[in-house]
Structure 1
């Protein structure tokens, strides 16, 4: 069994009296060597949660501990520099007047200048920037600045690394390659990490587990595959990617839908809101099967390796994801067939 490194238990944090708190009774754990993501829209409390873990803010209630050591509770608040936690800021926060080597070495204190430089060159080699050690930050690309910030954060060998939207300012192509490089480095060094992001693809591809946040609370925690394929609420289903919502009646785990009978996960009977991912819908020709209502293709978006179609059935439009070989065009009449559906808790009215 993996061991827990970080434990966040029922933390709450507000900044304005008589106003709802920004973070509301959040609990989660991060295991040794694990990459965990907090995913949610702007203003949901994810960065505040990260700052509470780092020690930049003190929780109003709840506890934070790391490796069985209390960092924050009603009586204790360990300062950031004493927590053994590294932090990579969204804007990297590099010193403009210091070169790469000096910026990285700044992250290591209480050792001789010689040892700081030796360790700085060691981590610069890890991130592939040894040959740029004498450059100033404004002479670096965005990806290079990001790696300098990462090197500075890991130079002191932290047990935990906190990443606050670290890839958001990079171009899409560079964002993906840098993300892969950072992930490989974290796994190679065995460093646990908490990533904060609003980008679904980033969280799904970077983290081993993630928590989806909404208005200061955690809606669901699990592996990326589990949370994406088995959302518990309509909010999680919608935030993790495009989906089709359908109201249906369920009996013995089977729902009657405009696409015929569909097996449902999460409910055995009664009325329910179903989430059906676009890739779980198929388009077939009308003469192949005659027991579902026909629809008309009203939209088509080509994305190189796949298509996203919109099909209208009884005045409602549904999204369907197919591969690039799909033959249907706008205006075609088709039947839809659902492979599976998940019953989710509707959003509050």
Structure 2
């Protein structure tokens, strides 16, 4: 199969950053946030389109649990890059609260805020209950919550008895996020942009994107489908260095499947002896949508990934222990794609 895409097309799409504010082994949340802001400032300088932060809870290695707060911190320390959620897990929150929070952010940083929404809890069931979610909820209520949220942001909501202030009448782009076909179909039905989590759900990527595009109905928001796809990229100046750096991410993912979630660990020379063959196969399958390598290897694999997905935009997750190496990875991608 020919995966070739000429560099002109490679340079035509947009590239964005997905950040979980990683807390490294021995590090603190404060350090994680300083690194997040520094990365956002560099990403803006290099030409990345948007900078999204993800809501997760009860995860020792993820600092972005209070997602709206971190978005405000990043937006306040940057000037032009779009900042948003990748995503807010709406079933964890009252729609009115999210409308107010993002209405506040949009009022502070007009024209720069995105609201990406997911329907998973972003946590385990015990934590989900601690977040005041109905223990029986399974995400099926998401369409109704989304409708409530959109109604609070609608300009016509000023006549309602319950109003989102700030929030009502503000033009805040809403994205639906998903790792299966559910949100793909809903985004298509509503004519909204869609972002797929290929970085941890690679098997469902093409079916979900196909479903979104085939079912899409034009709306006031979009006249044609717009799909952004999540991708893990760990780039370095040499292939060996990239694969060494990637062991931090692999160890962290392994700790999740072992139910021993940890801070982002330092890289190791080899994963052999750390994971079993069964664990290795599981981790590598889940992280199949990952590009690891030097400049030429990353460029070639980017061609293949874009050929397979036909993504309108890529949002890149890069979990690297050393902050300077993480910056360098994003810089290499910026150079390959012509942003920098």
What TM-score comes out, normalization by structure 1 length?
0.31
Larger Rg: 1
**Structure of greater relative contact order (alpha carbons < 8 Å, 6+ residues apart):** 2
Structure with greater proportional helix content: 2
Could you tell me the TM-score, scaled by structure 2's length? 0.31
Whose strand proportion is higher, 1 or 2? 1
